[in-house]
């Protein structure tokens, strides 16, 4: 179990660091507006963003098996590990085919399912983080959706970056839980 925990945490931290690479837009000239251009546009602006998205995806995919060893046996715990792994596959697809709306929608749905699964199985004090995270995930997704419908000039860039921050924080809370959770009991 200890090796699985270490592997999951290391891969998660690598994934989080790579997923946060969009912050490089403040030092790498992209020519994009942080307020108006969706964060997704960064993938076409500089190869470093696509590579980082691919690294994040690979790290999240590889964290799936160790997370499955650590997750409780019930389906909600397993769903959390599966959601992280699926999110990783979608990040890999996003790096390969940036701007594909279907990938974006699928990533949002998988992230919501993963956050909801945490609400269903985390212990009470941690569940509060999961509920807050789920609420923020849904709010930022709605803001991104509405800004996208309204078109240019409606802060879609700001909302997509807020969505990335919310996702990163929830993933960071998740890796913190993996660090401190008790080892699962096997029958």
Do 117 and 76 contact (CB within 8 A), yes or no? yes
Where is average pLDDT lowest: 34-38, 75-79, 140-144, 151-155?
151-155
How far apart, in whole angstroms, are the C-alpha atoms of residue 93 and residue 4?
Answer: 26
Q: What is d(CA 104, CA 43) in angstroms, rounded to the nearest whole number?
A: 13
Q: For residue 43, name the pLDDT band (cuts at 50, 70, 90).
A: very high
pLDDT at residue 110, rounded to an integer: 97
In a domain, 38, yes or no: yes
CB atoms within 10 A of CB 41: 20
Do the domain assignments include residue 13? yes
Among 158, 159, 157, residue whose Cα is nearest residue 142: 159
Q: Is residue 142 part of a domain?
A: yes
- Residue range 95-109: mean pLDDT, rounded: 94
| Mean pLDDT, rounded, of the chain | 92
Cα–Cα dist 52/118, whole Å: 26
Q: How long a stretch of residues is the chain?
A: 187
Which residues does 86 contact at the CB level (< 8 Å), separation at least 6? 110
| Domain-embedded: residue 187 | no
pLDDT-based confidence at 186, cuts 50/70/90?
low
Q: What confidence tier does 160 reach under pLDDT thresholds 50, 70, 90?
A: very high
User: How does residue 77 score in pLDDT terms, banded at 50, 70 and 90?
Assistant: confident
| pLDDT given for residue 162 in this prediction | 96
The residue range of the domain holding 90 is: 2-180
Which of 54-58, 59-63, 67-71, 83-87 is least confident?
Answer: 67-71
pLDDT higher than 70, residue 187: no
Whether this prediction's pTM lies above 0.85 is answered by yes
Counted domains in the chain: 1
Q: How far is residue 178's CA from residue 145's CA, in Å, rounded to a whole number?
A: 31
């Amino acid at each position: 179990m200890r090796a699985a925990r270490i592997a999951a945490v290391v891969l998660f931290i690598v994934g989080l660091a790579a997923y946060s690479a969009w912050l490089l837009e403040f030092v790498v000239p992209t020519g994009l507006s942080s307020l108006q251009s969706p964060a997704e546009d960064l993938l076409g602006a500089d190869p470093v963003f696509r590579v980082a998205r691919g690294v994040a995806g690979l790290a999240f995919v590889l964290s799936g098996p160790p997370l499955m060893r650590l997750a409780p046996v019930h389906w909600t715990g397993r769903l959390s590990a599966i959601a992280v792994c699926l999110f990783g596959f979608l990040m890999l697809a996003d790096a390969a085919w940036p701007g594909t709306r279907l990938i974006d929608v699928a990533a949002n749905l998988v992230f919501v399912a993963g956050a909801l699964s945490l609400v269903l199985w985390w212990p009470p004090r941690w569940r509060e983080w999961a509920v807050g995270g789920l609420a923020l995930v849904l709010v930022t997704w709605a803001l991104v959706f509405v800004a996208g419908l309204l078109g240019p000039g409606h802060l879609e860039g700001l909302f997509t970056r807020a969505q990335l921050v919310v996702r990163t924080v929830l993933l960071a809370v998740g890796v913190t839980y993996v660090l401190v959770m008790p080892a699962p009991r096997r029958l």
